[in-house]
Amino acid sequence: MLREIVARGTPAQRDWAVRTYRTSEQFRGQRQAFVGAPELAAPIAAAGAGKERIVYDAQFGSTLPGRRARGEGDPPTGDKAVDEAYDGSGATYDIYQTVYGRNSIDGNNLRLDSTVHYQKGYDNAFWNGQQMVYGDGDEDQPEPERLFNRFTIAIDIIGHELTHGVTQYEAKLVYRNQPGALNESFSDVFGSLVKQRTLNQTADQADWIIGQGLFTANVKGVGIRSMKAPGTAYDDPVLGKDPQPAHMRDYNNTTADNGGVHINSGIPNYAFYVAAKELAGEIKWFPEGLGRIEARLAHFSIPEATPGKKEEAPSRDLPALDIVADKLFLNGNDLGRLELQAVNKALDWTIEKLVLTGPESTLRAEGRWESWALRPSVKIDKIDLRVGDAGKYLERVGYPGTMRQGTATLKGNLSWAGSPQSLDFATLSGELVLEAQKGQFQKAEAAVARLLGVLSMQSWITVDFRELFRRGFAFDTISSKATVTNGVLKTDDFHMQGPSADVRMRGEVDLNRETQDLHAKVEPSVGNSLASILVLAVNPAWGLGAFIIDKILKNPLGQALAFEYRVTGTWAHPEAKPLKADVRTPDATQEPPP
């Protein structure tokens, strides 16, 4: 960033950028000198009995530590930089001590010394190996040329820099290339955690921006880095564009910036952000045998499969799992409470128990992930899904507005090639039995919802029965048995009964290509005049027959007329071809007309 300012900035901006760069490099060298020799840092910042902070004022000079401005327990001074440095170092101490059981950054109650108002035009904050140093940004520059505010303004910057002290005492990472990028990433992670804890935020609520508020209004950017979206924090005529990558495939193999320590830190930053979003709770590892993971989570998000990435064979050393997650998320949808128990048996990862419980549903499953074959496969031997409100359930799993109310059960078994994470429709096979009662289909646009649109006839029967089905087909019962072979679902007895019609279908649905070839038979069962007038209007020949049967033979319309169709095309654009209309004779048991 400083290099960009030197290349693009005004003469004054270039001047202070060069001075800041030189001073920062001196501090980095001093900090690196203390790595491996922490005893050299002790004389200035000695260990105390507990949390102890002192903030000094350099009064725009370069002598450290400067004039004492505030000590532990002293009241606020009214100097924003002094008080922000005091509060920020306290918040950092607190998270390490309270959450991680670490007494100060060295683990031995090192006193946290800070110096503010360092030099004029110093655009940085720094842990120099012994204490914190903060510049005031560009507050001495003309308003149009100011890029940075004071560096105590962002509490995550304070947490970031103090964490360099933790790394100094604990990890001793070389400040270059990948170790240096990890060093910077660790600081970003804990800086963000300090900020989130101070603001009482969850991972979902946090902005994951490092240095928010640090830029002045002259800069086009939200912060110096984004852990959530590396490479998007700023795009400015003077500062340039945020250069951080989010993936190792975009690793920047550069000699600048000590081998890209501030650039490539975006990769582990993004990995931490994804992990933080995906789970929250307590995880324990037990090393016996192949190992066992025990997790009690507040939430767990199943990561999305990487588009175009080939499934890799699972390890033959998969550990046993005992996971309970209060909320399981898939594609942002809360699927309910998860209970999972799985063990590795003869190189099969066997799912002994999988229970997914939502407000309106319970799913139980047993199966295994076969890992020895050339193409690993998933086999779910037992599926038992019970739904108390199908409309709310479909909304929960990501298909809102698809159905109103209704109860349902789905039982059977399924298998597919690959991993449990990615359902491969091209190899999906199994058997399913569906029973549903008392619901109503509605129109929706998502792929699975469009398939329901085909089965409920809303997307293709609008020519003959638009008035009957325009509000959605209401059903009393739905029943069907189906087999699935390599992604093609076949049924011979899909049967749907409702107040307006009795519907039977047979044929195939290609789940992979989202197409169908179905034979449908529709028997309307609405009352006299509405049905006769409606059908007469849309097809005079069929309507006249219906009218005669209804009025002369005194036979209910639904028992006398049946329409048959062949439905092909895609789920999005089904094509219905009328085949015939059957007029049946009255029931033999029915009394003849007088």
Nearest to 168 by CA among 127, 132, 114: 127
Q: Compute the 3-state secondary structure of the chain and give helix, strand, coil in percent, each to the nearest 5.
A: 30, 35, 40
Q: What is the largest CA-CA distance in the chain?
A: 117
Q: Which of 52, 84, 160, 161 is catalytic?
A: 161
Residue 377 near residue 368, CB atoms below 8 Å: no
Q: Which two tokens stand for residue 172?
A: 């001793």
Give dist(CA 221, CA 217) in Å, integer: 9
Using CA atoms, how far residue 591 sits from 294, 553, 584, 594, in Å, is: 71, 10, 16, 9
Here the tokens at position 302 are 């199943």
Question: What is the token pair recorded at 202?
Answer: 């969850």
List alpha helices for 103-144, DSSP H.
none
Burial group, residue 559, by CB count within 10 angstroms (0-12, 13-18, 19+): middle
What one-letter code names the amino acid at 443?
Answer: K
Q: Is 117 a catalytic residue?
A: no
161 is catalytic: yes
Query: Dihedral (C-alpha) 282, 287, 288, 291: value to the nearest 10 degrees?
Result: 70
For helices 177-198 and 266-278, give the axis angle rounded to 10 degrees: 40
Whole-angstrom Cα distance, residue 304 to residue 302?
6
- Long-range own/partner contacts, residues 545-553 (CB < 8 A, 24 or more apart): 545/581, 545/583, 546/583, 549/583, 552/593, 553/586, 553/593
How far apart, in whole angstroms, are the C-alpha atoms of residue 557 and residue 531? 8
Name the helix (H) or strand (E) containing 378. Answer: strand 377-387
Q: Is the separation of the CB atoms in 97 and 112 below 8 Å?
A: no
Q: Look at phi and psi of residue 484 and say left if phi exceeds 0, alpha if psi is from -120 to 50, else beta.
A: beta
Q: Measure the CA–CA gap between 439 and 406, rounded to whole angstroms.
A: 4
Q: For residue 515, what are the CA distances in angstroms to 216, 341, 508, 574, 579?
A: 55, 37, 9, 8, 20
Residue 223, token pair as written in the block: 């912060």
Catalytic residue among 84, 262, 299, 360: 262
Q: What is the rounded CA–CA span in Å between residue 85 and residue 158?
A: 7
Give the chain's end-to-end CA distance (angstroms, integer): 98
- Catalytic residue numbers read 161, 262
